[in-house]
Amino acid sequence: MIAAAVAIGLLGNTLSQFSRSRPSTGSFVTFIGSAFGGYSAVVTAVVLCTGYIIAVASVVTISGGLAETILKQYLSITIPWQAISAVLSLGRWP
């Protein structure tokens, strides 16, 4: 955890220095593209979006899993995590 905190802290310097020079909603996609060119921005967009989507799949799953456990353990209600995850995802839709 400390190792990750150090790595992220150093990256915080990177992000803040980029943002000082060029504030952007695009974040790392824009910053990497500014330094290494348009193709690198495309690759970054795909890699980063893929990574985020895979990572948030874990959030979607565990939210359903935790809710399923809470409902089963404390209210004796059984609802499969798959259904709960779908409802929570729809609940997040704008």
Residue 12 or 77 having the CB closest to another protein = 12
- Least distance from another protein to the Cβ atom of residue 89, Å: 5
CA distance 57 to 64: 11
Are 82 and 89 in contact by the 8 Å Cβ rule? The answer is: no
Task: Figure out which of the listed residues 9, 75, 76, 78 binds another protein, where binding follows CB under 8 A.
Answer: 9
Binding pattern to another protein, positions 11-50, x when CB under 8 A? xxxxxxxxxxx-xxxxxxxxxx-xxx---xxxxxxxxxxx
